Amino acid sequence: MSVLTVREKLAILSDAAKYDASCASSGSVKKDSLKSGGIGSTEGMGICHSYAPDGRCISLLKILLTNFCIYDCSYCINRSSSNVRRARFSIDEVVKLTMDFYRRNYIEGLFLSSGVIRSPDETMGEMVEVARRLRLEEKFSGYIHLKTIPESSAELVEKAGLYADRLSINVELPTDEGVKKLAPEKKPETIRLSMARLRQKMEEKAEPTLRTKKRERFAPGGQATQMIVGADETSDDGILHTSARLYGSYHLRRVYYSAFSPIPDSSSSLPLQKPPLMREHRLYQADWLVRFYGFSQPEILEGSEDGMLDLAIDPKLAWALRNRGQFPVDINRADREALLRVPGLGTKVVAKILETRRHRRMRLEDVGRICHSIAMLRPFIIAEGWSPGAATDKTGLRDTIVRSCEQLSLF
């Protein structure tokens, strides 16, 4: 095999990494280089340095250390039976590439993952070494996200947590049955145990040590995971149930949903179709409702027939239409919890309503000035001088709203 240039390797190993949805550089502790005189900072809010035409943000240098892999997961471009071109970065190459990109302000940091070669510990060890060198030799204070290999040893995971801002382990698919079918060598039990250990480690390190009274650093950006959507038969309700379990059990910062994308040299056991992007989007919206809007997971699809999110309307509107008895909500009197359930009102707008109504009673047009579209809101609220009357219970309400929202987006 001819020797590949760094550029050729980069092409192969970024192409191999693009099916991982996560790219966030947020949620870590604040750090900068003022004291160290080095390079890099994280300031809480992530920064997207570019956008690819797929609309996804490019925040981190997202690459694999190698795409050689002993696993044969049918949804993965790097599975051992795939005919994709293989490459392997050296540790030096990844460190240099990261620093070269960072110094030019192309990226917030590195998201390093890898195919598993020989043994989980050997692969994980190399990934940790990249992070160690960046931190200690390059005085790099930017963001580092390491994908953790579930089977790797506790010492390596401890070191990974010392250098990385975030660690993640992919659950891959929403059910254990799905994993067994599509990723036969992967063990869902081991994945769960690894996530449990990460949570334990994070909690342990959050306590000040007895001797130094300081907190030791361990992945301040927490842990995350990814689930592939649409490669197996799991319903949205089932997916959201799995997410709720993962958030509760392992205190994940994020669950990423990745619409199953056809891959070159695909396995015949998978659907060959365009990725279900809208479904992915609705799942994120539903995830948000549970995390920030006070919804419990079972509520989201309660009363739906097939356990699937409505693709045409957002899940909050769909919930409101199924629970019209809880509407209209009085903008001038309802509590925060009730306001958050009104379709079209986001957390920021709700905060503004709560503040403004302390000083004056709000009319429909006042609400209209601070929210995106009053059309969706109107049937669900009471305001000064406004009551929807029977509109809330009209049978054609869903279609009316869908049409008015479509018209809006034409302008």
Which pair of structure tokens corresponds to residue 186?
Answer: 């992967």
Which pair of structure tokens corresponds to residue 144?
Answer: 């580092």
Query: Is residue 391 near another protein by the rule CB under 8 A?
Result: no
Query: Is residue 274 near another protein by the rule CB under 8 A?
Result: yes
Least distance (Å) from another protein to the CB of residue 128? 22
Distance of CA 27 to CAs 24, 130, 232, 254, 317, Å? Answer: 8, 22, 31, 10, 29
| Of 362, 376, 381, 397, the one binding another protein by CB under 8 A | 362
Query: Is residue 214 near another protein by the rule CB under 8 A?
Result: no
Query: Is residue 382 near another protein by the rule CB under 8 A?
Result: no
| Of 50, 209, 347, 387, the one binding another protein by CB under 8 A | 50
Tell me the per-residue interface mask from 309 to 348 with another protein, x by CB under 8 A, - otherwise: ----------------------------------------
CA pair distance 128, 111, nearest whole angstrom? 12
Task: Name the E strands within 69-222.
Answer: 109-113, 143-147, 166-168
Query: Is residue 101 near another protein by the rule CB under 8 A?
Result: yes
CB 128 within 8 A of CB 146: yes
Tell me the per-residue interface mask from 222 to 261 with another protein, x by CB under 8 A, - otherwise: ----------------------xx-xxx-x-------x-x
Query: Is residue 275 near another protein by the rule CB under 8 A?
Result: yes
| Of 94, 366, 377, 392, the one binding another protein by CB under 8 A | 366
Which amino acid is it at 1?
M
Query: Is residue 193 near another protein by the rule CB under 8 A?
Result: yes
Distance of CA 55 to CAs 21, 61, 66, 112, 272, Å? Answer: 12, 16, 26, 21, 22
Judged by CB, which is closer to another protein: 267, or 326?
267
Which amino acid is it at 137?
E
Task: Find how far residue 278's CA is from the centre of its chain.
Answer: 15
Judged by CB, which is closer to another protein: 19, or 327?
19
> How many residues of this chain interact with another protein, rule: CB under 8 A?
98
CB 388 within 8 A of CB 330: no
